[in-house]
Each structure stands twice: as structure tokens, then as C-alpha cells.
Chains A and B, each alone.
Chain A
């Protein structure tokens, strides 16, 4: 009898555990969803925190996370005030902020503390696991702030958060399997910031090396500036990918729900389309192909891929992509852009 009770209790606890983990994700989905639907105000930092917290099963402390961002922001303010950045145009606060945060992320900064002057070292590129394949949390801003190692996902996110704190506009922008920063000031007009290697690549270079079809540019699926709402949509797909990394596709409903919500608010979000198409493909492969359900999935899948193709998305041939990956590290200056795998299943 006693064993029986323990057995039942065990089952119960295990059941709760499985359920609660799911609850973290549906909670996070609800929070981000209400930002997008307008019930809550849009807050990129909070959306990112929510996404990462769900993966860590609510173990992240929001105050610590926020304080870390504020601490970084205060260093950036110090750089802005130092007078070392010379910019003669009218929009000097904006431009100085753009420069200060860039320098903060990519260079060593001497900081005056109680113990004298200490050097704040730059954030580094995580060569070991740049695509979050070993551990999905390597994509996270919280990981970046703890380990000082990041990738083309966490570094631009952090840049954007600090700029938001400083109250200066800056935009995330998408390239295939890549995110970078787009900024604008009077002196240079629009330009791109690449934090993974501390460079300013031109649009043409991104287009040629990133295998972006001209139609993709025309349709604005890549290399366009993202609004705050669209940036929050990125978090929703991140959430789905975190879920996938943790639990696999399951019945696909959570991932598809995330993708569809993201697409309602950001209809041209290519990564949401790609994830949706991949999930549909996986579900189709699992299903009985002759059943009604299977046929329905097949049509949906085909429609999705056709739409993606029409928008100008082209999958980079694998050999080319591998070459591109290899080229990072071997080539100098312009060609140093660190790559760039966000959707690991995709390639």
C-alpha cells in the first residue's frame, strides 16, 4: 500500500514537472502575445527576458537581468560623456550613443571603480557554440552578460537594449541566418553595424556574401529596419525555437502557434515562415501520408514554401554555406564577419 502511494505520488510529481515546464512556455507566450495585441505596452527587453526565462524554467531573476543592462548602459553613458567621441553634426547625441555602445561592446574600456581603474573587456564571439547547437542558451543575452561570449543573435539584441535605455533609435535588421544593426545619422546616412567582428559592412557586401536575392530586398524580407513590434515578434520565434531545443517538435502546436502569431503582427517575418514550413514538413513526415491530415499538411507545406520562394528567399547551397563558415577567421577585415547559424535545422 505504502509503495503504491509513493508510486502514485511519484507519478503525480513527475506529471506536475512536465506540466509546469509547459506552463512556463505558455506563460511566456501569453506575455509576449499580449504585448503584440496591445494589451501590454511593447517592451523589447522584457520580451527577451521572458523568452530566456521560459527556457530556464523561471529561474532567471528579472531584477538582476535589468540591473546588468542598466550597468552596461551606465558605462556607455560614461563613454559618451568622456569627450573622446568627436561628431560635429546636429544629431550628435544620437551618433555619439551609436558609437559609444559600439565601442563598449567591441573594445576594452577603462572604468574608474572603488579599487582604482579597471578594464572592462569587450564581448567575444562564441566560437565553440555560435549556433546554440550544444546548448540553446548560448543564444541568450543573459548568457552573453554572464559569460561575455555571444553571437549574431545576442550581441545585436544587447546593443538594441542599451540603445533603448539611452533613448536613442536603432534597428535590428535581418539577413539569412543572421541579425545585425542598422543605424542612421546625419553624417553617414544609413549604415550597418556588425558586432560579431566590429565592422561596418556595406549593403552590397551583405547581399553578395549573404546570398540574398534582389527580390528578397525588394520585398523587404531582409535588410529592412525592424520596428519595436517586429523585434518583439523575433522573440516569439526565439521562444518557439527554445521550446523545440528543449522538447522537440511534440505535436507541433506550440511552435505553429508562435509562428502564426508572429506572422499576424509581422507578415513578412521570413524566419517565422521558415520555421513554420519546417515544422509542417516534420509533421507531414510523421503523419500517415494518405490520410486527410497528411494531405492537408502537404498542401499547407507546399503553399508555405511557394510563398517563401516568391518573396525571394533562396536557400544557400550547402557547400557554399560551409565555405562561408570556413572563411570566417581565415580572411581579413571585410571578410571576417562571424557566421551566423540561427536556425540550425534550416541548414
Chain B
């Protein structure tokens, strides 16, 4: 019997503890204005003017002082009561507005206009009113964050230069420039390897260096724009969101077919060869990895694959749709949550099969709303909220429903540190591989 306990420990430790809290950081409570009533002198009591006070009882030397004190207490009490009444009605209407309309729109703020513009253009692409253009969509999302200060022509020129390097190298190596795999592999080399290109006519060679992995801010925590493609283009270093997107934008330009795929807190590129076999291009370390590798290193369970949350190739339209979530994240970073934020998510939710990200973001919105309402209602428990404000309680139920939906998809959160450990692991793998390459060359 003694063996039971160790076995049970093994039983528990062999698995990760599932957590149901969504990844999007639960934001700080907003400062919903509860206006303070002006209480400097709300009431005038008769007989209260201090000058009128007269000694009535000759045997009490403190009579006037006592009366004064009593009067003050009365005034304070009345003022407190008034403040309470005023505050309460204001609070009630705040709660009602929040519970029925959600967070108030931030559209009056400077800079929101560029977000609305970006949304409209991307939405037009999704509705088919405008041709799908991934490069443009990526630019729109990032330009909105910089409040329309980026130059589209410069961005285009940079991308075209990269494509030209690829094409030149393809010609130089006498490869078939119409072949999809050739184009993809050249892009892969461009991003993950050093390319030397001879310029025509002169003897000069151009050296193109690979995109480095941004080890300093790969989670985009120090600067929000660390995961932007334009940041990658400026600095030559990117991370697991910007590198695949950069690849995909270039693939669009050069006319190669490539797809985007997710694993927990990570994304990568998927391509197909002539026999329709899939390959995963892991640009953060310049390697080609198997599906099983992703499953093992980021604890993906079979349910998540079956529900197509991860390792599922996404085509251009889905990628552009998915960029609406990125747009919403940027908007949130600058202006917080409101109807625009929700609109982005709802639109993306309508257009993609993989509902994980929209659900997580909706749940983040609802949980923030519920927490705000709970604080305003002074309701530490759901039952108290239900009693005090049934309409607010509806949001609590909605949040529960969203969490349940997320759970049912087979989503389990990646424990802290696993991701960093994983990157370290990949880097080691890569180092090993490099060594092997050198060995071959030496021989």
C-alpha cells in the first residue's frame, strides 16, 4: 500500500497543471469617473451662524463650544449623507451604462482615427471590395500604431530590394525562378543565412546578412513595437511573430506560396513541396522542424490539434483576418478597450476557423468589464453581483461561457519559463547543427 503515494505523485507530476485563465494580461482597472459632488457647504442650518451663539446656561463655561461642536457634527453628517445619495445615483448610472453598453468609446482621442482607417481598409479586403494584400495589411496595422507616420513607398521599396536579391541569387545559381519550392528556399536562406551576390558588370559582391533573433525583447514586453515587421526591417532583428510575417510578406511579393501556423505563444511558416508534403520553417533559428517537435516542446495535446488550434496552415485571407487581432492589440496598448476593440475581434472571429485568439481576447474584454463592475458594485462574489445588479451578472455568465468555450477547444496555458527553455533548446540544436556543417566542410 505504501507505494500508492509515490505513484500518485508521479501521476500528478507527469502532467502540467491546466490553467484556464486567458493569456492576455488582465489590464488595470480603468478609472471610470465617479464624480465627487461639491460638498463645500451643501446645507445652511438656521441658528447656526456662530456669531449668534449666546450663553444660555451660566453654569456651563463650555456651553458655546459644545453647541459649536454639535452643530459641526450635524453638518458633517448631513453632508456625508448627501454625498452618499449623489454618489450613489451617479454610480448607479455608471454601472448601468457599463453593463448595457460596455466600455465607453475612446474615439474622441487623438490617434484613434488612424486605427479606424486601417480597420476599414482591412475590412474592405476581407469583404472583397479591395484585393487582398498582406504586405499592405501588415503596414496598415503598424502604421496605425505610429499614427500614420510611416511611409508606404519606402516600405515597398525595402521589400522590393529584398525580392530583387532573391531573384538575383536564383539567376546566379541557375535555379528555376518559376518553381515555388525554389522561391521559398531562397527566402528561407535570405532570412536565415548570409547571402553573397555578385553585382552585374562590376566585380563587387553584396553581402546580405540574416535576420537575427531579438533576444532582448522577444516577448515584446519592453517596447510594444518589438514584434513589428517594420521594426524588423529597421533593426535587422525580429521574433516569432515578425519573422514569419516578414517571410510571408516577401513570399507574397516574390509570388511564392507559404502559410502561417501557430503553436502556443509562437508562430512559424509552413510550406509544401511538389509532393504536397508539409515543412515547418522555424525562422527564429533557421531550422526545419517536425510537427512532433512542436507538440513535444510546447505541450500541445491531441485535442488542440483536432480542434485545429495549432500547427494548422493558414492561407492569405486568414492571415489578413488574423491581423485584425493584432490591430486590436495595438489599439488596446494605446487607448484601452472599447467598442472598436470589440469590433476588430468580432470581425476576425467571423472570418476565421480557428476561434482561439478571438475567444481569448473576448474573454479578456469581458473579464475586465466584470472586474470593473464588481469593484463599482462592491461585490466580491458573483452571488452578490447577481443580487445587486442582474444586468452586470449577465457579463459574469458571458465570461464563464467564454472560458468554457476556450477550455472545450483543448486549450491549456503554457507554463512560464517553458517558452524560454524551448528557445534555448532550439538554439542549442542549431549550434549542434552548425558544428556538424563545419565538420563536413573540414573534411
Contacts and interface: CB of A to CB of B under 8 A. Distances in A.
Interface of A: 79, 82, 84-87, 99, 102-103, 106-110, 186-191, 200, 202-205, 207-208, 214, 217-220, 222-224
A220 B306 contact: yes
Interface stretch (B15-23, B165-173, B327-335): B15-23
B4 to A, nearest CB: 4
Given A188-B15, A188-B16, A203 B4 contact: no
A208 B15 contact: no
A86 B11 contact: no
A332 B300 CA distance: 24
B129 to A, nearest CB: 33
Interface string B3-44: 111011011101111100000000000000000000000000
B50 interface: no
25 contacts: A79-B1, A84-B5, A85-B4, A99-B7, A99-B8, A99-B11, A102-B11, A103-B4, A107-B3, A107-B4, A108-B3, A189-B15, A189-B16, A189-B18, A190-B301, A190-B410, A204-B296, A204-B300, A207-B292, A208-B290, A208-B296, A214-B278, A214-B311, A218-B306, A222-B302
Contacts of B12: 187-188
B1 A84 contact: yes
A191 B3 contact: no
Nearest to B407: A189
A190 B303 contact: yes
A84 B301 contact: no
Contacts of A79: 1, 4
A109 B292 CA distance: 37
B291 interface: yes
Contact of B1 (A102, A110, A202): A110
A186 B20 CA distance: 11
A60 to B, nearest CB: 33
B5 A86 contact: yes
B379 interface: no
A200 B14 contact: yes
A237 B397 CA distance: 45
A224 B296 contact: no
B7 A188 contact: no
B419 to A, nearest CB: 16
Given A188-B17, A218-B308, A224-B306, A207 B295 contact: yes
Cβ-closest 6 pairs across A and B: A204-B296, A189-B18, A208-B292, A188-B15, A204-B295, A84-B4
Most buried by B among A102, A109, A218: A218
B412 A189 contact: yes
Interface of B: 1-5, 7-8, 10-12, 14-18, 278, 290-292, 295-297, 299-303, 305-306, 308, 311-312, 410, 412
A204 B18 contact: no
Given A99-B11, A108-B3, A218-B308, A187 B17 contact: yes
A203 B3 contact: no
Nearest to B303: A190
Contacts of B2: 84
Contact of B301 (A86, A103, A203): A203
B8 A107 contact: no
B4 A82 contact: yes
Given A103-B7, A200-B14, A218 B296 contact: no
Most buried by B among A79, A107, A202, A223: A202
Contact of A214 (B1, B14, B305, B412): B305
B305 A218 contact: yes
Nearest to B305: A217
Nearest to B296: A204
Contacts of B278: 214
Nearest to B312: A218
Given A189-B15, A205-B296, A207-B302, 14 more contacts: A79-B1, A84-B1, A85-B8, A86-B5, A102-B7, A103-B4, A107-B7, A188-B15, A188-B18, A203-B301, A214-B291, A214-B305, A214-B311, A219-B306
